[in-house]
Structure 1
Amino acid sequence: MSNRHLFLKSGFLKTPAQNGVGRYICQLQRVVLKFCKNHGSSRGLRDFVEKELVNFARENPGTVVYLKPRRHRAPVIVAEYLNGDRQYINCYSYTCEEVTKWLNLLKTQTGTNEGIRLRKLWHTDHPSIQGPWTPYTFRDPALNLANFPNEELGKPLHQTQSATEKLLEIFEKQKRNIKDLETNRE
């Protein structure tokens, strides 16, 4: 095991952990496209602004897009996320398609930096060395070699009758009890 994680910043996850379980919330809040109007290295970003920007803005109404023309500077995409993180992408001599791919990637990310060690809300002094428990932890290894469907493995373990048979038995018992009550009244 390496100790690389000791030199990383540590922190808690700031984005919703189950984003998309109920309703998906895009974490990309703002995109700033910085480019030069004349320089050749900004051609791909300028082409994106002319051809694809309107479609991108229509497809992502929750993301604000700013254009910032600058003289004699390299083109840059700045993405700002809901958790406050910023991500910079240098777009020097990118094509329009590459800019589109980068924006789609930024749109689907959560904005968390990869250079952060995530901390958990629980702690133990004696962590398990056996690994996490799974439903297959104590299963018979012979199941790995079984051919399915297998009638022997499909037999119920504890139940001798089906649920339908059990319901029919309860219904018949209730009918008998009702008849017994009626005969006792007479």
Structure 2
Amino acid sequence: MPRLVPTLPAIPKTYPVPGYRHFLTPLRKLIFDYDAESPSQQGIRSFIKKPLINLARENPDVEFVVRRLKRGKAAVLRGHYVNGRDKVICVNQLEMDGVSNKVNLLLNSSGAKIKPLKNLTLEAAPASESARGVWSALHDQTRDGQGYRI
């Protein structure tokens, strides 16, 4: 006889969705650390009251944790990613829109280490031609084989 497991109507059932809409964010856990009485953290407190609930409904694959800090500590967002890395952003003295921007930055980030692009040099493999090949003015094919004219 098969075993029957009762289903609770309060817990929704999930079904796998194949196709292009099945995407999981690299962010696994988002932690909100704040002080409940500090006047400089009014932005994160107002974000936790209303927009956080809607954000949690939109991102069911991310775990949202709200923790109260000891008095005098700065408000911080901590994002833990699939690749084992984490990012920490201070949101002390930010308004609700600024906190929302930082949360979206953590949600849209991959968690990979940031690579500086300022001094990045691209090098071709040793003894290889450039991507465009060899060119000189003597090999100009646009002038019916006459080459370069002075």
Q: Shorter-chain-normalised TM-score: which range?
A: 0.5 to 0.7
Instruction: Say whether residues 1:29 and 2:33 are aligned partners.
Output: no
Residue 89 of structure 2 is matched in structure 1 by 89
What secondary structure sits across from 1:106 in the alignment? helix
CA distance, structure 2, for counterparts of residue 94 and residue 128 of structure 1: 52
Count of aligned positions = 111
Residue in 1 that maps onto 2:107: 107
Give CA-to-partner distance per residue, 1:76-111, whole Å, 9 cap, x none. 000010001100001111111111111112111110
Structure 1's unaligned 5+ residue stretches are 1-19, 118-123, 134-140, 143-186
Greater helix proportion:
1
Q: Structure 1 stretches (4+) deviating beyond 3 angstroms?
A: 20-23
What amino acid maps onto 1:49 in structure 2? I
Q: Could you tell me which amino acid in structure 2 is paired with residue 66 of structure 1?
A: V
Q: Secondary structure at the match of 1:110?
A: coil
Provide the TM-score with structure 1 as the length reference: 0.52
Q: What is the distance in 2 between the residues matched to 1:130 and 1:22? A: 40
SS in 1 for 2:92: coil
- Alpha-carbon displacement from aligned partner over 1:135-156 (angstroms, at most 9, x marks no partner): xxxxxx98xxxxxxxxxxxxxx
Mark the runs of 5 or more structure 2 residues left unpaired by the alignment.
1-18, 118-123, 134-140, 143-150
After superposition, the Cα gap between the structure-2 partners of 1:132 and 1:35, relative to the gap in structure 1 and judged at 3 Å, is: farther
Secondary structure of 1:42's partner? helix
Larger radius of gyration: 1
Measure the CA separation in 1 of the matches of 2:66 and 2:132. 48
* SS of structure 1 residue aligned to 2:37: coil
* Counterpart check, 1:72 vs 2:72: yes
Across the aligned residues of Structure 1 and Structure 2, the Cα RMSD in angstroms comes to 3.1
Distance in 2 (alpha carbons) for counterparts of 1:78 and 1:63: 12
What letter matches 1:65 in structure 2?
F
Shift of 1:25: 2.3
Question: Aligned runs of 1:139-154 on 2, under 5 Å?
Answer: none
Residue 52 of structure 1 pairs with residue 51 of structure 2 = yes
Query: Secondary structure of the equivalent of 2:46?
Result: helix
Separation in 1 of the partners of 2:51 and 2:78? Answer: 17
For residues 42 and 115 of structure 1, what CA distance do their matches in structure 2 show? 31
Aligned partner of residue 45 in structure 1, secondary structure: helix
What secondary structure is seen at the aligned counterpart in 1 of 2:57?
A: helix
1:126 aligns to what? 126
